[in-house]
Amino acid sequence: MSATGDPQQADDLLERTRAFIRDTVIPAEPAPGTTLDAQELERLRELARAAGVYAPHLPVEYGGIGLPITAWSPIFQAAGYSPIGPSVLGCMAPDEGNAHLLEKIGTPGQKHDYLGPLARGEVRSAFAMTEPHPGAGSDPEALRTTAVEVDGGWRIDGEKRYISGAEGAGFFIVMARTEHGATMFLVDAGTPGLRVGRDIRTTEHAIAGGHSHVHFDDCRVGADAVLGEPHEGFRYAQVRLGPARLTHCMRWLGLARRSLDIALDRAESRELFGSRLRDLGLAQALIADSVIDIEASDALIASCATALATDPREGARLSSIAKVFCSEAIVRVVDRAIQLCGGDGVSDDLPLASYWGEVRPFRIYDGANETHRWAIARRASSARRRAMAADADAAAAGGAA
């Protein structure tokens, strides 16, 4: 099935996705703060495949629906209306970003061996770039894990930290410093010298496989393990990270919509001081600000998706802006919903507190917001300098004429 390029098919897919999340996924959600059982996840994925809503973003030849990135957002938001929805539909991080990268730069053999099983949900994956301090984190140039050419391939040494999905992953995409930059490698789980270490407990539970330390000690891989061209890893990282930041925005915006709906239902049913909560000015202000944050996020995501499809450089610029704004706006929406629901909002009687735990890390994941603000400011200053120089050149040319 393909919805590519057909708005009517995309609209139909959106309605079926919403119905599937409402009727099948939400009733199967685990208790707040807990993780979905692996067997239950596979059961739900089978139902998603049968319903024709699985892997909306992946190419048809790999079992996906084939939507272009400009059509992802409504579907990803619908999936994200449940914290387990993206995993059920096969569009959760880090697998979604890794699949995108494999599609763009993988060899035919790598696509067969890695993208195919990943797209079909037969394996999970992890993206291993972040390292313990003073290694790579918000600054990828600080990369310390090394890869050295040896007879028959490469030797990888180093330690990664906070690797999402590492526990139980079938393979890793590993960033390592090489002689002329950085290189990406596909490393199978179980490769001698690769060891998944201590898991780091966090506030969120939606990403299967935790966030672990991963150790590489004389880890040997063949020459065919190189993903893309050697020494081009930093450039390829941007191929992955721009869309991956944006799809995080899409998924969590769906959860923000769910949070606002919960608060609206509470405001409709609760009476205070002789009025319904919905009619009190302070409550209305909280609701209005959340609607504004959601609509502004939605528009920014759409603008960025269009840019990523047509102008990758502009898309990268907008993805930083979208990441900062949406990650903060989504937290604000969930926090206001908690406030509107009072004591129930911070209890397990409602899922809002667990939603806050899911979305708060996004201000750190995929580059801390402070790092993105630094990049946004530098780009703005550089663009202004170029514009001023162009105006000066134009004025000089006019005067000479």
- Find the mean pLDDT for residues 344-359: 96
Q: Is 149 helix (H, G, I), strand (E, B) or coil?
A: strand
- Please give the average per-residue pLDDT across 18-27, as a whole number: 98
- Cα 67 to Cα 49: distance, rounded to the nearest angstrom: 16
> Does 164 share its domain with 256?
no
Interval 106-125: pLDDT, tens = 999 999 999 999 999 999 99
Residue 206 banded pLDDT, cuts 50, 70, 90: confident
Q: What angle do CA 373, 77, 111 make, to 5 degrees?
A: 85
Residue 33's pLDDT band, with cuts at 50, 70 and 90, is: confident
Shared domain for 225 and 254, answered yes or no, is no
Same domain, 198 and 274: no
Residues 245 and 363 in one domain: yes
Q: Is residue 385 a part of any domain in this protein?
A: no
Cα angle, residue 336 at apex, residues 73 and 83 outer, rounded to 5°: 40
Which residues touch 42 (CB under 8 Å, ≥6 apart)?
A: 121
291 in the same domain as 264: yes
**44 or 141, which is more confident?**
44
The CATH number of whichever domain residue 159 belongs to comes to 2.40.110.10
pLDDT one-digit tens code per residue, 209-236 = 999 999 999 999 999 999 999 999 999 9
Give pLDDT tens digits for 257-275: 999 999 999 999 988 888 8
What pLDDT is stored for residue 401 in this prediction?
64
* Intra-chain end-to-end CA distance of the chain, in Å: 61
Judgement on whether residues 199 and 251 belong to the same structural domain of the protein = no
CATH of the domain at 52: 1.10.540.10
Residues contacting 20, CB < 8 A, separation 6+: 47, 48, 51, 53
Conformational region of residue 158, where left means phi above 0, alpha means psi within -120 to 50, and beta covers everything else: left
pLDDT higher than threshold 80 for residue 400: no
Question: pTM of the entire structure?
Answer: 0.93
Q: Are residues 203 and 255 part of one domain?
A: no
Within this chain, do residues 270 and 337 fall inside the same structural domain, yes or no?
Answer: yes
Residue 41 has pLDDT above 90, yes or no: yes
- Our count of domains for the chain comes to 3
pLDDT tops 90 at residue 35:
no
What is the secondary structure of 58-90 as a DSSP string?
S-GGGTS----GGGHHHHHHHHHTSTTHHHHTT
Question: 194-199 and 171-178 as β-strands: parallel, antiparallel, unpaired?
Answer: unpaired
In a domain, 284, yes or no: yes
Tokens describing residue 67 = 């939507």
Q: Residue 250 belongs to what domain range?
A: 241-367
3-state DSSP assignment of residue 396: helix
Distance CA 43, CA 56 (A): 18
Q: Residue 2: which pLDDT band, with cuts at 50, 70 and 90? A: very low
CB 229 within 8 A of CB 218: no
For CA atoms 128, 133, 139, 140, the dihedral sign is negative
217 and 294 part of one domain: no
- 250 in a domain, yes or no? yes
Please check the confidence at residue 343 and state whether its pLDDT lies above 50: yes
Quick one: how far is CA 75 from the chain centroid? 14
Please report the pLDDT score of residue 383 as a whole number: 95
Residue 381 lies in a domain: no
In a domain, 356, yes or no: yes
Q: Indicate the residue among 187, 210, 231 that finishes a domain.
A: 231
Residue 7 has pLDDT above 90, yes or no: no
- Angstrom distance (rounded) from CA 356 to CA 262: 13
Quick one: pLDDT at residue 272? 83
Mean pLDDT rounded to a whole number for the chain: 94
- The Cα–Cα gap between 121 and 117 comes to 6
121-125, 194-198, 275-279: least confident range: 275-279
Residues 252 and 185 in one domain: no
Same domain membership, residue 172 and residue 211: yes
Distances from the Cα of 122 to the Cα of 95, 117, 208, angstroms? 11, 5, 14
Do the domain assignments include residue 217? yes
Q: Is residue 320 part of a domain?
A: yes
Last residue of a domain, one of 194, 212, 231: 231
Same domain, 248 and 353: yes
| Token output for 48 | 């998603």
Q: How far is CA 183 from CA 136, 267, 338, 399, in A?
A: 14, 53, 44, 51
- pLDDT, residue 180, reads 93
Q: Quick: pLDDT tens for 135-189.
A: 988 888 899 999 999 999 999 999 999 999 999 999 999 999 999 999 999 999 9
Q: What's the pLDDT at 261?
A: 98
Task: Supply the pLDDT for residue 194.
Answer: 98
CA distances from 111 to 62, 259, 278, 358 (A): 9, 38, 52, 31
Q: What is the CATH number of the domain that holds 279?
A: 1.20.140.10
Domain contains 399: no
Would the pLDDT of 78 be above 70?
A: yes
Residue 163's nearest CA partner among 119, 212, 114 is 212
End residue of a domain, out of 209, 231, 253: 231
